[in-house]
Structure 1
Amino acid sequence: MSGPATKPSSTVQKPSAAEQARLDQQLRDAAWKNDVKAARTLIDRGADVNAKDSTMQSAYLIATSEGYLDLLRLTLAHGAEVNDKDSWNGTGLIRAAERGHHLVVGELVQAGVDKNHVNRIGYQALHEAVWLGRNSAAYVDTVRVLVGGGVELTRPSATERLTPLQMARSRGYDRLEAVLVKATEAKDVADPEAELLRAADAGDADRVALALRAGADIEAHDAAKRTALLLAATHDRVEVARLLVALGASPDALDDRHDTPWLVTGVTGSVAMLEALLPANPDLTIRNRFGGVSVIPASERGHVDYVRRVVRTGIDVNHVNDLGWTALLEAVVLGDGGKRHQEIVRILLDAGADPAIRDKNGVTPLEHARSRGFDAIVRILQAR
């Protein structure tokens, strides 16, 4: 009895040199436009994320200088040479630091980039963030990420012979100076993880950076299993959250109450925290202890701006929690019928909320609104 027929092995034909050059140029063009979809297609067709043009630009290096985080992640996932150099003999880290792209800086630190490389003009990433940066929040975030990531702090630049702290003082950048003073004058941290949690709870982003620099596990948690990022989200410590997210903290870490940093935003209604967490790609389907996703408590509590923003993330506006309620039902059943909840009902309906979904007792949002005397919400629901 004969065995199964052997299928001929398939071979993938490599593109010609001319076709490869075209693919690589098309990929760089897509990179400049931050067209991640096109870039992915071109990479699948064989385009090289490390291929450079005559100006020493590659898709990977473009992503670093322009701050294109999703594109950067795509190139890293497809073999980007993390320590590749540009025409200034600079790494992607130096390019990103110069532009104040703190999320890209953090992504590269996590990817193992050479944190202390010196470019052709004698600058490290920290020098460029200060000397060529600005006294703005973006550069404060960038400097904190570099500090937390463990870069050298006191090497003078080759030309000016200034340390980063001296550069900040020379420029009159008091915000950057304050971060660097704390970093350079810091003493040894006896218990980095305890310090990380205390600093996150207090909203002290500089101390958080120093705790991470001292070796704290970014996912360390307290007795209630709350991580630093969860503490930051709970107390709306947005600067702390931006730092932690940049260096890889999870937005999905569950505590003993089944809360995560992301889920907490639905309770606090903080749009700023929502925005700080989105680059970490939170799992929008994780459920809280009531079986709900973040849009449900936000709708109940009347967080209009949060609901308006979160429905644009692709979150399921028709998710039913363990009580049998959707966000729309909670906005009616647990709301006060006032202007905030009226606006939330409109937002949810515009986002695709189904007004026909009934609660466990078979009651619709419209019937609940009528029974509660919420005439304005009745009119909104009847109009759909």
Structure 2
Amino acid sequence: MDEQTKELCDAIESFDEEVEKIESLLEEGVDPDSQLGDEDDNASLVHKAAAQGTREIVQVLLDAGADPDVQDKRGKTPLHEAARNESNKITSMDAKIVETLLNEGLDPNAKQTEDEEFAGGEGETPLHKATQSSGDSARQVVEALLGHGADPNVENKYGKTPLHLASQSADPEVVSALLNEDADPNCTSLEDDSEFSDGGGENTPLHLAAEEGNDGIVRALLEAGANLSAKNAKGKYPIHKAAEEGWSDVVELLLDEGAEADARDDVGKTPLHEAASAREQGGFGQDENDPQRTLLALVEAGADADARQTHEAPNQLSGPEGKENTPLHHAVSSGLAENVEALLEQGADPNARNENGMAPLHLASDGEHVEVIRALLEAGADPNVKDEDGGTPLHAAPGKQVAEILLEHGADPNAKNENGGTPLHLASEETIFDDPDAEVVSVLLKEGADPNLSRSGDTPLHIVVGTGNAEIVQSLLEAGADLSMENEDGKVPLHAVAERQVAELLLDNGADPNARDSSDRTPLHYVLQMKSGEAVKALASLLLEQGADPDAQDEDGFAPLHHVAGNRSNEETGALASLLLERGADPNLHSGIAPPPLERARHVGNESVVEALEEAQKSTSEADGESDGNSQLNASLLNQARDGNLEAVQDLLGRGADPDAMFEAQSENDEADVSGNVTALLFASWAGHTRVAEALLEAGATPERGALNGKMPIAAAAEYGHSDIVEALLQSGADPNASGEDSGPPLGFAIGGGHPEIAERLLDAGADPDCQFSDNDFTLLSYTAVEDESQMTELLLEAGANPDLVDGDGYTALAYTALSGATGVTQKLLDAGADPSISPGHRSLPELAREKGNLEVADLLGTSQ
């Protein structure tokens, strides 16, 4: 914008005092159609004059040739600007400018093409703008626009007409002016009828007027034929909208006109539900709303004080919107004691329970609405009422005052919910929303709460110990909390300790530092798995000082030193290892498949622990070192082979580890069902670590040593498709027919795993194609018939498998195709000369196939007989 244009803009803002200056600037060549820039939406000088100037200035610009129909970048004309006022208060000057522009022939139905930020406006005409103001000047502008042909029923982007917007204003005369020009009182907006809509649109002007509490506008709309029973997108009637805001005058007016007091919206809420949550506020047409008078008016008109909401309301930010809620639930959740008292006086049931079993007292307690709680209890609310999870209002008590009031009125401090939790459990608990509450704990204990009641084995002491709240721990101990009580995992409270101060309290009161849980872990095991270095060191030191065993092993053979060796997240692991070693921990301790601590530390790269352990091992006697060392090497070999660490395996073999060392199989979790004895070669074969397997075989590992769940190394490699390992095992003398106890042959595992190339190699090596296994002498050919594996069938037949071999149930492979419908296998068996007359019973194979619905197989079998 050049200096002269800017000077002209400043003159427009000064009103009539600068008219001559504006005329002079225009004569000097300033373009009357100059645009003000993007920050002003590319508006013209006429837009600015229409919005901020006078009629005289607008006329001067028009006389100078300014385009009266010019649009800014949002599609607004000067008439849009003149018809609105930023404070929604049109002045007499605005009215004069509107008249001037209309006389220039501007289109009163021109639509704004784009929303303004936070102000909307897309699709609005000047009439939309004008109807959002009130007063005589606003009415004059509306009448002028209508007189020049403005459409009173034109819709904006959201489906709102000027009457919708006027019904939200404060001026019944503006509404009357529109109605006098045939504005439709029953027009509806779109489902999403504003920038901030949640899909609750499809409102009529009566909905909007009722919501704003303007009884004058409501009356004018009703007189013009507005429908009392119109429903918006959420099924709400106008009376719902008025009740929601507590506009008693409007509610009474609607009721007098015949509105239903018990009308239901789409989720089954009545106007009484809405009024129950209404708060006091100022409004149009009355000094303030009156929620209690609204409630009374509805009940007197027949509204059910205990009406139940029939559905859950979606997308609610707050409040009880669940099924079966009564108006009292809504009032209570909002914390509105006056509304609660008004409903109770009208007979509302203080013990009504919603779909989740929650009574109003549950909601009042959870919301810490003290006055509401008192009102409910005085009206007979049951302090021990239970929700569907067995929780009482005391379970939900968020603070001392609420707990005291409930206990004074008979609440049971030892009531249990469905999980066995008591109010004391919940008060001792830390959640993402709340910390443990020492004051509530103290009140509950004072009123007789039992500190030793169990929730899945956990007492309140189990729960609070992990939070580090020493004050509550002390209170529970003074009340007689049992330090030796075990939860479902066999843990005592000391197992959950996380801070030294709490640990000292427990130990000073007799806690056993060597208590074992169901996995044989001690508190020291759990402490050493924590991340915080200094806290762990302080706790570990305390436990060891109090007699904790540094070599205690859990059921898997892991000692505290193992946990330190494997804990990469703790910066104090080296110091912790030294601490344990100083207290007598054995650096070579291991059992089962648990690796030695040193090997574990090396595996995870815990160098500070490796250094401490190596130093400790140097100080052990040579004899002990040799004896323990061999066992340690063998255990390490097993674990490194399992993990496929070739360099480590070679190093261990070079240091004397036995490649045939065998260990009893152990599960890493309680659910896995494993049995047998494992070797390094078995682990490598199972996992497919070819080079590790080859290194073990070169070192003399026996290829048929060890079996896990009956699978020897060659069977494991065959099942999982490790063909190179199968070849290495065969080259080292593995028997292709070797099978473990209660297990199948390697060939069976190759076929079952879907590896034809391995199956072919085993057959070439002498695997028996007719081998029978399991309790009923099942054959491999029969297996391919059941699984419809025609490629495997062909391999076995080419290797000489007998197609007529019968199992213990009298079935041949061909009989199994009749059951399975394996057409391809059937054809290959018949081509190989299989006898279709061999049947396991009195029915022929074609009959058996038809009975199972395998008609194609039946036809093949029938034509071969």
TM-score normalized with structure 2 length: 0.22
Higher relative contact order (CA 8 A, sep 6+): 1
Structure with greater proportional helix content: 1
Q: Mark the structure with the bigger radius of gyration.
A: 2
